[in-house]
Chain A
Amino acid sequence: MNPYLFGYLGAAILLLSGLSLTRKNPVHAVLYMIVMFFHLAVLYLGLGAEFLAAVQIIVYAGAILVLFLFVIMVLNIKEEMEGERFSVGWPFGISIAAGLFLLVVLITGNIVPGRQGAYTPGVIAAQTNTKLVGTLLYTQYILPFEIASLILLVAVVGAIVLAKKKLR
């Protein structure tokens, strides 16, 4: 990927997520987050993950954040926006975040990539990324795939049970 494009995308992602997480109005926060997810999808495209970029836009920006917007609409947003934005312990939180950042950056400074896999860009270009990911999902990762479907089923049932007014 072009370093300038990476610089723009990285700066935009960090700026948008920072803006999003400090907004008072949750609707504005979700809208900033949607723009951030689109930038992340472009970054995935640059990394050769076309299928994931599409899933990022469809599932994250299209489904999960719309779910957030729905719930914000159900809740009383006026009350939500009154009072303090941050809790009293915010210097504590910011120091924990900065410490974590320094720790991981120090650790990953001299990272050495491991053994190279078989999916070189040439192989992926010949078979397309989506087909290869699908083949892997339905052969080698079939058990985790089924477990993921079970998790989604449990989530659907659980969400209905939790949000229902009265269970008969």
Chain B
Amino acid sequence: MVPLQWYIWLSVALFTTGVFGFLTRRSIIMMFLSIEVMLNAVNLSLVSFAHFLNGLRGQVLALFVIAVAASEAAIGLAILIALFRNRATAQIEEVTEMKG
């Protein structure tokens, strides 16, 4: 029997992989992929908590997370297409008008 901690640690490791990718990659597509990895890590922790607490709330919440991830991907990629049309680049460091 695998304890709850293992699932949580796997989820944390997956989340930090996503954080690493988001902070270090230059390409906007890869940053979006990192966000998907982070959302999946959160889903994994929600489902494992639901299993170990004998509940279903975690699974319902994970479904909502998937819905939000789908809309986030659609909007983000549409923004990426608009950006690419105007700038012909998908590198984050060449889009620095806001000086953020």
Q: Which residues of B contact A111 (CB under 8 A)?
A: 4-5, 8
Given A49-B50, A155-B75, A158-B75 in contact, is the A97-B23 Cβ separation under 8 Å?
Answer: yes
A-B contact count (CB 8 A): 230
Given A55-B66, A64-B36 in contact, is the A26-B30 Cβ separation under 8 Å?
Answer: yes
Nearest A residue to B82 via CB reads: A162
Tell me how many residues of B have a C-beta within 8 Å of chain A. Answer: 73
A132 contacts which of B21, B33, B56, B92 (Cβ < 8 Å)? B56
Is B67 a contact partner of A101 (Cβ separation < 8 A)? no
Nearest A residue to B19 via CB reads: A97
Give A76 to B31 CA distance when docked, in angstroms: 17
Interface residues of B in 15-37 (CB under 8 A from A): 15-21, 23-27, 29-30, 32-34, 36-37
Query: How many whole Å from B1's CB to the nearest CB in chain A?
Result: 8
Interface residues of A in 20-36 (CB under 8 A from B): 20-22, 26, 29-30, 33, 36
Chain A: interface size category: 35 or more
Q: Which residues of B contact A20 (CB under 8 A)?
A: 33, 37
Nearest A residue to B49 via CB reads: A113
Q: Which residues of A contact B19 (CB under 8 A)?
A: 93, 96-97, 100
Q: Which residues of B contact A79 (CB under 8 A)?
A: 88-89
Residues of B within 8 A of A (CB): 1-2, 4-10, 12-21, 23-27, 29-30, 32-34, 36-37, 40, 43-44, 47-48, 50-57, 59-60, 62-64, 66-75, 77-82, 84-85, 88-93
Residues of A within 8 A of B (CB): 1, 3, 6, 10, 13-14, 17-18, 20-22, 26, 29-30, 33, 36-37, 40, 43-44, 47-49, 51-52, 55-56, 59-60, 63-64, 67-68, 71-72, 74-76, 79-80, 83-87, 89-90, 92-94, 96-98, 100-101, 104-105, 108-109, 111, 113-121, 124, 129, 132-133, 136-137, 141, 144, 148, 151-152, 154-156, 158-160, 162-163, 165
Further pairs besides A44-B44, A56-B43, A98-B16: 11, Cβ < 8 Å = A21-B34, A30-B33, A52-B62, A68-B29, A74-B84, A83-B91, A97-B20, A108-B12, A136-B56, A156-B74, A163-B82
